[in-house]
Amino acid sequence: MMRRLLAVLFLMLLATPLHAAQCGGDFGSFLATMAREAQGKGVSRGVVDQAFAGVSQDQGVLSFDRRQRGTFRKSFEEYAATRVTGGRISGGKARLQRNAALLQRVEQRFGVPGNLLVAIWGLETDFGTGDMGKLPVIRVVATLAHDCRRTDLFQGELLAALAILQRGDLPLRDLIGAYAGEIGQTQFLPSSYIKYGVDFDGNGHVDLRHSVPDVLASTANLLKTNGWQPGGDYHQGSRNFEVMREWNRAEVYRKTIGLFADRLR
């Protein structure tokens, strides 16, 4: 119960308007302002000091951010052919069998079918065996928050990443991810980690890097919370296809999820 109350408190605090730190300018001054902001939202000074120790701007992250727009320029057929491969389909079917009881429990609670969850899992990180990212999340989101292109968004992500540390879900050494701060086997942004993360294995922590039950349940919870209709279609034109916009706005990506899910059904 206490953990649930803390999660609700963090959500309320993160939802309040930011006293936005000034983007650009001196990076150290920016971090100092964000440190005060985080402490005002319940993150301890010790957590902030540990997280910000030695943090510097990452020019590689900024370069990637500038060039990654337009990732989904391929047609659906071209894109899907590179993502829904024979190896992924066989791997997905193996995961469906291996996690059948778990997926049934997840579907009973959240209403999202196992084949769709496994499709997302496979596309994001090859079922947790592929690239989950190797960059320190604090450094990534601090860099993007300081940059003026999307400062409001990533100031919120920076606060959420600090909240993950404050909750004890991941230690700082495991708070690593991709070029926009995505974390874990289905690549949650820190704010989604806080908002939708579920401790489904019951160990007291939401661990989206190592716990398959937490990964699958949290992915299903994201969809359910945004209006997923149990038993409904998930292809283009359906309500569930629109719900998946919360996962990825790119239509070609959502169509690829549906195709992969069909191949696993």
Whose tokens are 């084949």? That residue is 115
CB 240 within 8 A of CB 120: no
DSSP assignment string, 223-262: HHHTT--TT---STTSHHHHHGGGT---HHHHHHHHHHHH
157 as an active site residue: the answer is: no
Reference 210, options 175, 260, 164; nearest CA is 175
CB 153 within 8 A of CB 186: no
Q: Residue 184 corresponds to which tokens in the numbers above?
A: 């874990």
* Active-site choice (124, 157, 246, 251): 124
Give CA separation, 147 vs 55, 155, 229, 238, in Å: 15, 10, 38, 37
DSSP code for 174: G
Furthest-apart CA atoms within the chain: distance in Å: 53
As annotated, the active-site residues are: 124
